[in-house]
Amino acid sequence: MNIDELIRKVEKDPRFLKLKNVIENNSYHDHQKVYDHSMLVLKVAKEKITGDFIQNEEAKELFKKFVEDKFDGDLARKDCMLLAALLHDLGKAGYYRDGENERSVLHTNSKGQTSCPGHEYISSILVPDLLKGSISEKEIAYVSQIIKLHGSIKDESLSVMKTWEFEDVLDNIKSESEGLYIESLFNIYCDVYYAQASSDLREMAVKIFNSPDFYTKRTYYLK
């Protein structure tokens, strides 16, 4: 099954279609169905995965080489990144139970504003069941980890990092993303692409993607 067939399969899955019934209203979503947002993020990811948004030629080639590499089985990294874009908010349709109490992951306050605390983690633990049997276990774990990390860089952090040296910004991005800094930043960039509140984040993401140093493999050690 190629990536286009797999995406079509996911889009028809009743569990994914539940996102049509979940409507968000906050500074990032204006009475928007999570399904519509998810499809829009996938559209952005398909456009940006080509690397054409990166102006630095060396950085663009490094990005393209990275996403074209096979991860495991039949899928390239870019295929897994597209799946993460589509499924990153799956948990917003979920529920949880504490003792005898059941509650929706989506919370609505008295002013009609919504929030989904921890939806990144919740999405990451619900996605494997949806993808089971369609791709390898390693690919499923990879997609789930990217999804889990899509809250690792927030607008509040960027407002602070704008005053930092760029090397320190790169250091922070790489260390906060559990080694998946290219994949997680790409997912975050696509997620907030149309969010008015995230202009600083988008600007910083593009600057980072244009730095060849962003693509060097990092290891940590003691000596």
Cβ–Cβ under 8 Å, residues 166 and 98:
no
pLDDT digits (tens, 9 = 90+) for 7-54: 999 999 999 999 999 999 998 999 999 999 999 999 999 999 999 999
pLDDT digits (tens, 9 = 90+) for 175-190: 988 899 999 999 999 9
- Structure tokens belonging to residue 162: 């704008």
- Structure tokens belonging to residue 215: 């693509």
Neighbouring C-alpha atoms within 13 Å toward the C-beta of 19: 23
What pTM value is reported for the model? 0.94
If the chain, 223 residues long, is cut into consecutive pieces of 10 residues, what is the mean pLDDT of each piece? 94 98 93 97 98 98 96 90 98 93 94 94 97 95 96 80 91 90 96 90 94 93 95
CA dihedral of residues 85, 26, 198, 77 (deg, nearest 10): -10
Domain ranges of the chain: 3-215
Taking residue 205's Cβ as centre, other Cβ atoms within 10 Å add up to 22
User: Would you call 102 helix, strand, or coil by DSSP?
Assistant: strand
